[in-house]
Amino acid sequence: MKEPAAPHVKSTKKKSNSFKDGIKSFIRSRPLLHSSALFVLRIGSSLSMPNVYKITRGYVSYFKDLFRYRRLPGAEKIRILDLYPCVLDKTASTPLDLNYFLQDTWAAEKVFETHPAFHVDVGSTALLVGILSKFTRVCSVDIRPLPVEMEGLESRTGSILSLPFPDKTLESISSLCVIEHIGLGRYGDPLDPGGTDRAAKELERVLAVGGNLYVSVPIDPVGRIFFNAHRSFTFSSFVKKFSQLELVDVSLIQNGQIFSEADLSAIPFINGMVVGLFHFSRPH
């Protein structure tokens, strides 16, 4: 029978969590302090060295496991040259970017429901493109083309500012977490303050009558630029970028949860960290 944890250990954990939550609440309740803290974290993350303590602890655990394994009955012979240390994978949960996971599954569901004969993706994740290609014929367009050959998947080098398709010819398009980056040079594209607007108009140009467009961007109450990572937009300003299209559906992601458009006013926006998922269509 498993022995219950000692009361003082449980109590310490609760106190520790309460203290951390209190600090987080204090910072979040002060917009200037919160913005400053996030700025420091963003700048520091690009300069920070690997966590030496975490790596050292991982290697200690690795060699303990190695010696224990070699003593187990039936253990295979392990050559020194075959050692392959994976020292950072002992985590309590599977590492995951929930924003990308939720937006990709959202888009996949949308495409599966409409079942287009041909789908074009512009710059979304490679995994989404690969999965969709097993369901329908897919063309991936990116300034950094996918280095893969797969049945049902065509990869083209191209720019979202000049898509290689005639006007109003595509019945199904996705471009997730892409157009907020255009014109900031992050991915080698030319600097252009109007990059997002031009990208939106190009996606609008190629969408066929009755066709479906799925896009996602960061949404916040103000709209700003986080150079050179991305821009964020107010809800209404982003919808207006697709003036010729009809907004069919909206979902919003924050902290691993999906909200509807009706929840927009109740979501605690934190420096553009809400992802808006927009389904547009060109009306008949």
CA distance 284 to 281: 9
E-strand spans in 55-169? 118-122, 137-142, 153-157
132, 138 Cβ separation under 8 angstroms: yes
Enter the tokens of residue 284: 């008949």
CB 98 within 8 A of CB 253: yes
Please tell me the chain's helix, strand, coil percentages from 3-state DSSP, rounded to the nearest 5: 40, 25, 35
**Among residues 205, 235, 207, 206, which one has the least CA distance to residue 220?**
235
User: For the chain, what is the mean pLDDT?
Assistant: 88
Residue 3 is classified by DSSP as: P
Instruction: Check whether 271 has a pLDDT greater than 90.
Output: no
Q: What does the pLDDT look like over 186-223, one tens digit per residue? A: 988 899 999 999 999 999 999 999 999 999 999 988 89
Alpha helical stretches, state H, 152-231: 195-206
Lowest-pLDDT range of 2-6, 83-87, 210-214: 2-6
pLDDT tens string 118-147: 999 999 999 999 999 999 999 999 999 999
Banded pLDDT at 2 (limits 50, 70, 90): very low
Contact 199, 161 (CB under 8 A): yes
Distance CA(156)–CA(122), nearest Å, equals: 10
Q: Can you list the domains of the chain with their CATH numbers?
A: 7-82 (no CATH), 98-281 (3.40.50.150)
Structure tokens at 185: 């040079």
- State which amino acid sits at residue 219: I
pLDDT of the residue at 9: 38
pTM: 0.79
- Would you state the structure tokens that stand for residue 181, as one six-digit string? 């980056």
Average pLDDT of span 3-16: 43
Per-residue model confidence as pLDDT tens digits over 12-60: 444 456 777 777 777 777 778 877 777 776 666 666 566 788 899 999 9
In this structure, which amino acid lies at residue 210? G
Rounded Cα distance between 269 and 274, Å, is 6
For the residues of 214-253, what is the DSSP string, one character each?
EEEEEE-SS-EEETTTEEEB-HHHHHHTTTTSEEEEEEEE
Find, among 123, 122, 94, 124, the residue nearest to 106 by Cα.
Answer: 124
Q: With the C-alpha atoms ordered 231, 49, 31, 16, is the resulting torsion angle positive or negative?
A: positive
Share of the chain above pLDDT 90, in %: 66
Q: How many CA atoms lie within 13 A of 284 on its CB side?
A: 1
The pLDDT score that the predictor gives to residue 217 is 97
How many residues in the chain?
284
Predicted local distance difference test score (pLDDT) of residue 11? 43
What pLDDT, on a 0 to 100 scale, did the predictor assign at position 270? 58
Q: Give me the amino acid identity at 228.
A: N
Which residues make beta-bridge pairs with 216? Answer: 176, 277
Segment 154-165, tens digit of pLDDT: 999 999 999 999
